[in-house]
Amino acid sequence: MLRLITIRTSLILLFALLSFELQAKSVYQQPEDFIKEVFAEVTPEVKRLWLKKDLKLKVNGILGHDPGLLRFRYWHDKQRTAWILEEIGKTEPITLGFVINRGVIEVIRVLIFRESRGWEIRHPFFTDQYKNAGLDSELELNRQIDGISGATMSVAAANKLARLALLLHQHSDAVDSK
């Protein structure tokens, strides 16, 4: 009888861990599908923004570390740019998609979430706070973003990436477009 209880308990724990692991790696939207949705009619050709010394220092300042990249990929149509960016939450990368239009955030979407906690940042009650946010002269968001209890590191990653997308937009071809 004791052995049966031990086996049953072990199976329950195994299934609980497997379901937890599945929730921790959620793909809400593939990055390529996000880009197709943003540019519904014709998807522009991908462009690359090279990190020159001055820009790299600003990027490092926002992220708090070197991104480990020489360039960022983006899509540009008139004064809109779209960016797929990643940052570590607590231990795993979080992938977000951004659309920046005329220097402010038009769309922010959590595309892939790999952390075990903090997935609530994907909901509109959180992401809607970023709409029309821009950067101030200190490269900070020009509005307060309310956090989510239990998702502090995911919120911090989203804030960094929002600032990064806005900064990169300032250095993209969209700034010169009319």
Give the SS3 label for residue 75. strand
Res 66: pLDDT: 96
Among all chains, which residue has been given the structure tokens 């929002």?
Answer: 162
Among all chains, which residue has been given the structure tokens 């490269």?
Answer: 139
Confidence of residue 10 (pLDDT cuts 50, 70, 90): low
Res 24: pLDDT: 57
Confidence of residue 7 (pLDDT cuts 50, 70, 90): low
Residue ranges per structural domain of the chain: 26-176
For the chain, the 3-state helix, strand and coil shares in percent, each to the nearest 5, are 45, 25, 35
52 pLDDT above the threshold of 70: yes
36 pLDDT above the threshold of 90: yes
5 pLDDT above the threshold of 70: no
Give the SS3 label for residue 94. strand
19 pLDDT above the threshold of 50: no
User: What whole-number distance in Å separates Cα of residue 86 and Cα of residue 95?
Assistant: 4
